[in-house]
Structure 1
Amino acid sequence: MKTLLNVVVKEARELFTPHALAPMLIVLVIYGVIGRAIRSEREKQSGPQAVLLVDRDESGFGATVSRVLDQSGFIVLPAGTDTEAALALAREDDVAWVVVVPEGTGAAVAARADAELETYGVFQGFSVAQMVKGAQVRGLLQALNDELLRERVREAWPGEDPVRMMRALSVRPHVVVRERVAEGGPELLGELVMAQTFLIPVVLLMVIIIASQMIAASVGQEKENKTLETLLTVPVSRLTLVAGKMLGAALFALVASAMFMAAMASYMGAFAPEATGAGAALLAELGLRLGWTSWFLLGLVLFLSVLCALGLVTVLAAFADDARSAQLATTPVMVLVMLPFFLTTFFDIQVASTAVRVLVYAQPFSYPFLVPRALLFGEYAVVWGGLAFLAVFAALMVFIAAKLYSGDRILTARLSLRRR
């Protein structure tokens, strides 16, 4: 055990260097700043938005438009009757939209003829925030049409509730999960579940990439600097040597994952829906919460996945000539990790074709993407099957790597794409 600890400390000391930690710290700071800026901008956009109102109609219909704008949460700024002057004022004061009530609009509405409003989107730049403002103004026009319809209903049926007459039929959406029924929309449920399960695979993807590159570079540098021959002369079990190298890289991956998870949590928090109020009640009623046991199983799956990747990279890096060619050894692992990431993102594996399901279930790096969803929906056959598969694959990779390190084969193995 002491020998294994010494090997782990040696590997960790080589990996935990300032030039290795600096990029992760920079990413942590950048993602944190971006996430905070996006949240601040979204809060600003969710607040009352200013709209310039140009009223060229003398019937008083502009007052109705102003009232509906105010009820919809807009700050109405009267801008006289000159459209060009209003547009210049909008550009000067950074107001995104101008609403114009043309002459004769009120008379057309009263006569139940076709009537139009004019809207001007004043673009100072192109961004998501500008699109959000446009959606808000389109919602305003729908609210104005609803108000006019309510007035006509009041005129035709005095004393009746116009809202009830306009909406004679309403829908109460329900969702069913594992024989549990709860009142709520499937869109909200999908967003909440995605917010809970999306971050983990992304972080794992980054951890596997970083750890694989580190251990490949370590093996390549040892072969390039001729330190591997010295290391193999030390009276240490080859299995202990391989396990120590992998655990050292796994320790570095653990620190990297914590930093990336903090960065991604700050960034994704700016987009993910908040599981508060009705959303939290919906998740609780459907039992879509990960308990301590589920988190333990998920952590075990993630740890075994990292070990599988490190074991495979250790075997492939043994055939590298130097540190540069050792990076080539990580390419197959990256392909094996990226493939299930995209398949599980764009396909529902439960209803996918047999070929897609075989492609996903037959390789070990699919299970980190499958297990979070399986834990939420109680599909423990996938969880236990994935754990068994990962454990066997990790043990096999460690065994093969130990065999490579047990003789001179590790010193003579080569992997080169150059012509001789």
Structure 2
Amino acid sequence: MKFFNLFRKELKEMLSAQTILVMIVSVVALVFAGRAMNEAVSEGTAGMMDITIYDADNTDFTQAVLKSLEDTLSAEEYDGKVIKVEFESDDYAAELKRLDIKSAVIIPKGFTQQVEEGKTADVEFVQKMTSLASMSNISTGSDNAVYFLSSAVKSTIYADKVMAGTMTTEEVALLENPITLKESTVVANKTEDIASSIVLSLCSAQTMIVPIIMFVLIMFSSQMILNAIATEKVDKTLETLLSAPVSRLSVISAKMLAAGVVAALQAAVYMFGMQEMMSGLTEGAENADSYQAALSNLGLTMSAGQYALVGIQMFLSILIALSISLILGALAKDAKSAQTLIMPITLSAMIPYLLSMMLDLKTMSPVLRYIVYAIPFTHTFMASENAMFRNTTLYWGGVIYQVIFLAVCMTFALRIFMSDKIFTISIGGKKTAKTEKKKSLFGR
């Protein structure tokens, strides 16, 4: 019986209303993140087998190749189609924008002549990049285009030669590799002869390191000040401090400034380290000079000014996390509840952290997109990408929103600290005499 009473008491303390509320919020947040990812995957895979082609050669042979390609893609197992377009110039960036497409296979002039001469024919693949998220390029890869176009070329050559009754050894060897792919990547209004997969791999470390650093800084700074406020409140240290001949505004300002200075120092150090790391990665890669030149021409290398812009949003996010931690720390009734109260900040940082690395948030449905944008940390996780892709409107809009959010949070924190609510407010409610008696009986 005593064991049961002890068990019931411990369970009641651990499974408090606060804990249940945090669990419900966590489940809702994770379900939302799952729905957002599911939507992105569904949109990315829709039309994945469609191939957009511009036939600049426009001969009977290329028409036969496209007909064979259409027949293959229309099969039930592929459920794709060939989308024929016409380019009006060699400015691929302008043409993709005019046609409102993300990628295209280009059959250049002289394609048929190369095949007839027994040479490997050249094919171009141009792709527009608007994000460095891993799932943003799921439907625009060149692998499908090359595979199916090669099959169509093989089928057409084979059919022509069989009908003519001629098939040399050289032509049989040619069928093993009938086309050579030349890839180009478009970013904004610039085009470079480099595969988008290479661009993605070279920039992936940069796009991953900022979210990782941001997540660590938010969690470290939030937990530091939340635990400090909660501990000082429980130990009555905060009560003594606020009753001293020092204004409460000075107390909270000192705490925020100290935490802000530490956070700013950490952000600056990590930004410098990240810049040096990226320089080391690109310098050590094969064809490093050509790759670096291509990335620079595409505008995908960050200058010192752009790193500073990312640092500004990192600093704002950390200040927001600190201000929220001040409020949550004041709501904590003991050290145990303080550990639970860190969960809202964790989820608010984790959801945009995961989504920004995998999805292009700009392409999400309006409802989901603005819900994610409402999380202030989202804009910092997007900061490096916005800086590289020159999304200035989205960047400065995020900065303005973060400043407003910070002002609101600081107003609430000041109202709590400037009143006596700091000593009485808590999510768990006030301690009753009965509760205190029970705790004294158990030596707690």
Q: TM-score when scaled to structure 2? A: 0.53
> C-alpha displacement at 1:267, in angstroms?
9.8
- Count how many residue pairs are aligned between Structure 1 and Structure 2: 264
Residue in 2 that maps onto 1:328: 340
Distance verdict in 2 for CA 1:268–1:205, change over 3 Å = farther
Map residues 170-189 of structure 1 onto 2, 5 A cutoff. 170-189=180-199
Q: Which residue of 2 aligns with 1:369?
A: 381
Distance in 2 of aligned mates of 1:178 and 1:163: 40
Superposed, 1:342-353 pairs within 5 Å as 342-353=354-365
Contact kept? 2:222, 2:342, Cα under 8 Å: yes
3-state SS of the aligned residue for 2:362?
coil
Q: Distance in 2 between matches of 1:323 and 1:344?
A: 33
Residue aligned with 2:333, SS: coil
Separation in 2 of the partners of 1:270 and 1:180? 25
Q: 1:250 aligns with which of 237, 260, 263?
A: 260
Q: CA deviation at 1:338?
A: 0.7
Deviation at 1:167, TM superposition (A): 4.3
Change (3 A) 1:402 1:235: farther
CA RMSD of aligned residues (A): 3.3
Find the aligned partners of 1:195 and 1:358 in 2 and give their Cα distance: 27
Task: Within 5 Å, give how 1:292-311 maps onto structure 2.
Answer: 292-311=304-323
Deviation at 1:281, TM superposition (A): 1.9
CA distance in 2, matches of 1:327, 1:269: 39
Deviations 1:257-304 (Å, cap 9, x if unpaired)?
577779999999999984823321220121112122211211110000
Out of 180, 183, 192, the residue aligned to residue 202 of structure 2 is: 192
| 2:206–2:278 Cα contact (<8 Å) kept | no
CA shift, 1:372, in A, is 1.0
Query: How far does residue 356 in structure 1 lie from its aligned partner after superposition?
Result: 2.1
Q: Which amino acid aligns with 1:302?
A: M
Equivalence for 1:281: 293
Which residue in the other structure is 1:238 paired with? 248
Paired residues of 2:208 and 2:357 also in contact (CA < 8 A) = no
Percent of aligned pairs with the same amino acid: 30
> In structure 2, how many angstroms separate the alpha carbons of the residues matched to 1:288 and 1:260?
20
| Counterpart-to-counterpart distance in 2, 1:373 and 1:380 | 11
Distance in 2, Cα, partners of 1:256 & 1:284: 28
Deviation at 1:365, TM superposition (A): 1.0
CA distance in 2, matches of 1:265, 1:180: 24
Separation in 2 of the partners of 1:163 and 1:284? 40
Counterpart residue number, 2:352: 340
CA distance in structure 1 between the partners assigned to 2:423 and 2:175 by the alignment:
84
Q: Distance in 1 between matches of 2:269 and 2:334?
A: 29
The alignment partner of 1:198 has SS state of: helix
Q: For structure 2, list consecutive stretches of 5 or more residues without a partner in the other structure.
A: 1-166, 436-444
* 2: CA distance, partners of 1:353 / 1:166: 43
- Cα distance change on mapping 1:268 and 1:327 into 2, 3 Å: farther
> 1: distance between equivalents of 2:314 and 2:210?
9
Q: Say if 2:410 is the partner of 1:409.
A: no
Contact 2:185–2:193 (CA under 8 A) maintained in structure 1: yes
The answer to whether 1:226 aligns with 2:236 is yes
Q: Specify the SS of the correspondent of 1:415.
A: coil
Equivalent position amino acid for 1:173 in 2 = E
The answer (yes or no) to whether the contact 1:320–1:326 under 8 Å persists in 2 is yes
Q: Tell me: CA distance 1:206–1:262, structure 2 relative to 1, closer, same or farther (3 Å).
A: farther
Letter in 2 for 1:245: K
Post-superposition shift, 1:408? Answer: 1.0
Q: Distance in 1 between matches of 2:344 and 2:390?
A: 32
